[in-house]
Structure 1
Amino acid sequence: MTVNPTEEAASAPGAQPGALPDAPPGARPAALEARDLSVVYPGSRGRAPARAVDGVNLRIGQGEIVALIGESGCGKSTLARALVGLVKPTSGQVLYQDTPLGYSAKALKQYRRHTQLVLQDPGGALNPKQNVYDAVALGPRLHGLRDGLPERVHGALARAGLRPPEEFAGRYPHELSGGQQQRVVIAGVLALDPRVIVADEPVASLDASVRGEILKLILHLRDELGLSALVVSHDLGLAWNIADRVAVMYLGRIVEQGTVEEVLLRPQHPYTKALLSVIPTGAEDWRPTLLTGEPPDPTAIPAGCRFHPRCGRWAAASEPERAEAACDRRELPVLAADGYRAACHLLHTDALTESV
């Protein structure tokens, strides 16, 4: 995979017109999928309900890494937690290998053998009173996998890059670096032999010097074990270095998705372009695009295109263009789960009656 030089050294939900309802020919079989998924948190003290996830279709193929990108508050973490069964959707479905997720205690326990969440803060995820061995063994013990437990734990530590595992097994979190703590968290996931991992900002709390090591580890696990992964991040450089496909999220919706090259080299949606514009290009005329208006508020979703109040393209549009596009009053359809799509009325004169 090509490395970006800026990285760490650098109105009703429905299928988009013209979009395929399922994966296009040649796509990998689905490992994990969200279909028309919504998560609404009830309001309190007179506040409106918060539509944190609002009609999302997202597909992670077998052996594929998908990066979910967006600002803080756009619903990425809520979607991640819904995909691993920690949050029950208000509507829609989560499917594992085309089978809808059940929400009984037994069904969720069985599901979590196969789909695991990697948290952002490894220090907070680890019990300071528990040594590395017990931290990694916790999951297998909860699932009754006690036969051959030492071999399972040591094997997971080795796959996570903590070698020799015997040297780390007796240590406690405070005796480890941030990168080593994250590897322990990943080892705890690997000890259950999952098929899918959902990593929520897996390197956000780490120093730049170790971020690349963790990203390289995730790629290695994909190649060695055939793992599928959804990596949640606000870092477009991370997406470039690790992902096969990218989904861009804004205010509870996927607004653009496609391969890394399609989305990051030829972005179509104004929001994606604004996110990419902050990466220095080295050109003399380089200027970042500053988003105006208020950050996303899931309790006050605007009419029409939910990005239009902050959209520079809409602000610069002529009156005839505004009349035709009607970004401030006409709802955009929900994007289909796969293929290259961007949800923007201003992309086409036919107002999005064909795919991008």
Structure 2
Amino acid sequence: MNDQPVNDHPMNDQPVSGALLSARGLHVVFPGRPGAAGARAVDGVDLDVHRGEIVALVGESGCGKSTLARTLLGLVRPTSGTVHYAGAPLAYGGRALKAYRARAQLVLQDPSGSLNPRHTVYEAVAEGLRIHRYGGDERAAVTGALSRAGLRPPERFLLRYPHELSGGQRQRVVIAGALVLEPELLVADEPVASLDASVRGEILALLLRLRSELGLSALVVTHDLGLAWNIADRVAVMYLGRIIETGPVEQVLTAPQHPYTQALLSVLPETPGAAVVLSGEPPDPARVPAGCRFHVRCPVLADGRAEHAGVSRACRTRDLPVLTATATRTACHWAGARPG
């Protein structure tokens, strides 16, 4: 298979007016072994995050969502496509990229892995200030960030080490390390996956409070549609490198159109009916199947509903267009064939 990006994207690489962060036609192809196809980790993505908005990027492990998030932050350079921030194209070197990384901060999944065990809380939070050569009152900035992250009084935590903190407190230190640079955007990659249920709720409430008080925008990467329901304004569901369903969270999660979204929702405890168990694992991104990339696991194709709708051949042979960021849409032959 050709490892070059497929030219299936509308000829418009401009960001949406008013969007804080915009991706257009984004592809990331990781080279394979000599003579082998590259892995299409991100395979044509449009995505916008507006000011003051929380967007959830949802999908199974290996679907490309973390690669997409890191590409949006400038940590991975795209093979093709564009990223714009505040209307300007993202630069991939020098001072411009460093300045961008102060405005858009990454919050990782595992606070234990994110924090140096030999550094105190003060040193962990101050690290970003020192990298960016902050010229103000360092101690005041650190204590302010800890307070905004819910570690109060902040002076109580300054000289502690990560092993002296609970999991929730460590995650708050990681968040404080992002907040200390006063960013406009947080990209949170599975920010509560390693925490127990009670602490998960506290961290999600913190992210909502930060949005309300500071006007922060956030892209939250998660495998959990339940988390998306609790925190997001919009949701984008990703499968094998592409966004396959997107829209306002209430619309996507109360009336999902794509069989993949329906399957992800069905396993939540609060969802009525039997869980839909998807067969097998997602295909290798170096060997994206012909037709709809989900068809080899699709329960609608397996149980005959696609054939009844007259789209089973299309599911197996005809690719679907990349979803644009400006519309609520689903990339699915079967969903498009249903009335209403």
Matching residue's letter, 2:321: P
Paired position in structure 2 for 1:111: 100
Paired position in structure 2 for 1:6: none
- The secondary structure found in structure 1 opposite 2:317 is coil
1:345 paired residue among 327, 333, 340: 333
- TM-score w.r.t. length of structure 1: 0.89
- TM-score w.r.t. length of structure 2: 0.93
Offset from partner CA, 1:61-118 (integer Å, 9 cap, x none)? 1000000000000001000111111100000011101111011122210111110100
Q: Is 1:52 paired with 2:41?
A: yes
CA positional deviation for 1:319: 4.7
CA positional deviation for 1:178: 0.7
Query: Relative to 1, partners in 2 of residues 1:282 and 1:301: Cα closer, same or farther, differing over 3 Å?
Result: closer
Paired position in structure 2 for 1:161: 150
> 1:15–1:335: 8 Å Cα contact kept in structure 2?
no
Paired position in structure 1 for 2:8: 13
> 1:131–1:169: 8 Å Cα contact kept in structure 2?
yes
Q: Is 1:88 paired with 2:77?
A: yes
Higher relative contact order, chain-length normalized (CA < 8 Å, sep 6+): 1
> 1:248–1:254: 8 Å Cα contact kept in structure 2?
yes
- The secondary structure found in structure 1 opposite 2:151 is coil
> 1:325–1:346: 8 Å Cα contact kept in structure 2?
no
> 1:36–1:57: 8 Å Cα contact kept in structure 2?
yes
Offset from partner CA, 1:113-172 (integer Å, 9 cap, x none)? 110100111110101111011110110111110321111111000000000111001111
CA positional deviation for 1:185: 0.5
Q: How do 1:228-267 residues align onto structure 2 when only pairs under 5 Å count? A: 228-267=217-256
1:170 paired residue among 131, 137, 159: 159
> 1:56–1:335: 8 Å Cα contact kept in structure 2?
yes
Query: Relative to 1, partners in 2 of residues 1:153 and 1:295: Cα closer, same or farther, differing over 3 Å?
Result: same
Paired position in structure 1 for 2:257: 268
Counterpart CA distance in 2 for 1:81 and 1:104 is 15
Q: Is 1:191 paired with 2:186?
A: no
Counterpart CA distance in 2 for 1:129 and 1:170 is 11
2:65 paired residue among 62, 76, 82: 76
Q: Is 1:287 paired with 2:274?
A: yes
Paired position in structure 1 for 2:318: 330
Counterpart CA distance in 1 for 2:338 and 2:267 is 30
Paired position in structure 2 for 1:8: none
1:126 paired residue among 103, 115, 121: 115
Query: Relative to 1, partners in 2 of residues 1:280 and 1:173: Cα closer, same or farther, differing over 3 Å?
Result: closer
Offset from partner CA, 1:179-229 (integer Å, 9 cap, x none)? 101100100100000000100000001111200000000000000000000
> 2:247–2:329: 8 Å Cα contact kept in structure 1?
yes
Which has the larger displacement, 340-349 or 291-300? 291-300
- The secondary structure found in structure 2 opposite 1:128 is coil
Counterpart CA distance in 1 for 2:141 and 2:184 is 16
Which has the larger displacement, 296-305 or 178-187? 296-305
> 2:266–2:274: 8 Å Cα contact kept in structure 1?
yes
Query: Relative to 1, partners in 2 of residues 1:15 and 1:277: Cα closer, same or farther, differing over 3 Å?
Result: farther
- The secondary structure found in structure 2 opposite 1:255 is strand
> 2:62–2:240: 8 Å Cα contact kept in structure 1?
yes
Q: Is 1:308 paired with 2:303?
A: no
Structure 2 stretches of 5 or more lacking a match? Answer: 1-5
Matching residue's letter, 1:288: A
- Aligned residue-pair number: 333
Paired position in structure 2 for 1:298: 285
